[in-house]
Each structure stands twice: as C-alpha cells, then as structure tokens.
Amino acid sequence: DAGITQSPRHKVTETGTPVTLRCHQTENHRYMYWYRQDPGHGLRLIHYSYGVKDTDKGEVSDGYSVSRSKTEDFLLTLESATSSQTSVYFCAISGDRGIAGGETQYFGPGTRLLVL
Amino acid sequence: SQQGEEDPQALSIQEGENATMNCSYKTSINNLQWYRQNSGRGLVHLILIRSNEREKHSGRLRVTLDTSKKSSSLLITASRAADTASYFCATDATGTYKYIFGTGTRLKVLA
C-alpha cells in the first residue's frame, strides 16, 4: 500500500466549530487531493494541490479551505462545520504525469466526519 | 455537474458469470481509470486506459474506451465472491490535474 494516512479516522463535532483533517504521505508525490463521498454522489473533488503552496478548487469547494506547506502534508479545514458536511473524506495522492504510473491515484483509508 | 455516470447503479450476478459495467463522461480526456472500493475502505486502482487506446486487458479485467461516444466499459470475467465491491470510473480531463469520478456501480457476486 502507498504510504498515505489520514487523521483523525473518525470525528464527531458540532455545527459551527472548526475542523481540520490531515493527510500525510511518505511517497513524495507531487499531487494531493481531497474528496468527499456521499451516498448517490460517488466521490466529489473538494480541493487539490499540484505542489507545495499550490492549490486549486474542485467541484464542491464551498465551505472548505486547504493548505500545503510541505510535500508530505495536505490539510483540509472546515472553517465552520455544517450538517451538510457530514461525510466520508478521502485523501489521494498521485505522481508526475510524465512517468509511468504517474496518473494512478492512491487513496487513504478515509475520515468519517459527523456534524451534529 | 461534471460527474460521469455509471450504469447500472447496482448489479447482482452468480459466481462464474461475467459482469459488465459502463461509464459515460462529458469532457475530452487524457485517460480513464477504473477503481474498486470495498465497503468502508479507500479506493484501489484497477486499470488505466489512455485516450488513444481502444481496449486494454489486465488479468480478468477488460476495459474498452470509445472517445467518440465518451464512454467506457469494464468487463470482469469469471467473477468471484471476492469481486463484490463498488466500481468507479475516473477521468483526467485534458489540460487539468483534476480527476472526476463517476457515481459508481455496486457489484454483488453471489457464491
């Protein structure tokens, strides 16, 4: 398995509180992604990063921010959690497009977030 | 929505039968990938097919790609109970670093 971990694995929080999820990789991959998975919607991209301090929005970025201050860590922050952000969050990594297998995404184990 | 669509949403077959699932997408792509997800786990990469390829094989998996129809199919031959999972396609849109996932097909293989 690719060296990718997520923390925490489970979290229960209350509406209006800030929440930060962490994704950590040991593969030195350039690209990192945050997805949320909800029944009936599959995986939807929240934000992604194509290098240290380089990030861009995905299709469901409202209410979320990200930061990547070093290659191995990609943080997802919910500034003020809402019940609609209850979901399973997955981090993924991938390498450079120009190398064999660079496009393959490797996924973390997921974080289950419940916002009450 | 930029999401792809997969059909069927759910599929139930007997062990030993073949399973076919389809994916449609909306934009020009660099490549299309298929992933499997076991219940409650992260996704695992199965196979990648590039936009200039029409068919690819890997073990019991066969993937086809029709860029004119913006569609792909995944065939799992001689299915096993261990193939029970959800299967997702993902497209890497031309000129972006983003992957767009389909909504998935839930496959159940009955022993």
pLDDT digits (tens, 9 = 90+) for B42-90: 899 999 999 999 999 999 999 999 999 999 999 999 999 999 999 999 9
CA–CA dist A35, A60 (Å, integer)? 9
Nearest CA-CA distance, residue A79 and chain B, Å: 24
Residues whose CB falls within 8 Å of the CB of residue B68, separated by 6 or more in sequence, listed in order:
none
B41 chain-A contacts, CB cut-off 8 A = 109-110
Token pair, residue A33, equals 């992604």
pLDDT recorded at residue B97:
76
Nearest CA-CA distance, residue A16 and chain B, Å: 27
3-state secondary structure of A84: helix
- Contact yes or no for B98 and A43 at CB 8 A: no
Nearest CA-CA distance, residue A76 and chain B, Å: 17
* pLDDT string in tens for chain A (116-residue length): 569 999 999 999 999 999 999 999 999 999 999 999 998 788 999 999 999 999 999 989 999 999 999 999 999 999 999 999 999 999 999 987 766 667 889 999 999 999 99
Token pair, residue B5, equals 């669509």
B34 chain-A contacts, CB cut-off 8 A = none
pLDDT recorded at residue B64:
98
Q: Is the confidence at residue B93, as pLDDT, over 80? A: no
pLDDT recorded at residue B40:
79
Give the residue-averaged pLDDT of B5-16.
93
Q: How many helices (H) and strands (E) does chain B have?
A: 0, 11
Provide the 8-state DSSP code for B69: T
B100 chain-A contacts, CB cut-off 8 A = 45, 59
Q: Which of A33, A42, A58 sits opposite B104 (nearest CB)?
A: A42
pLDDT recorded at residue A101:
67
Token pair, residue A79, equals 């500034």
Quick one: A36 exposed, middle or buried, by C-beta within 10 A (0-12, 13-18, 19+)?
buried
For the segment B23-37, what is each residue's pLDDT rounded down to a tens digit?
Answer: 999 888 888 999 999
pLDDT recorded at residue B3:
59
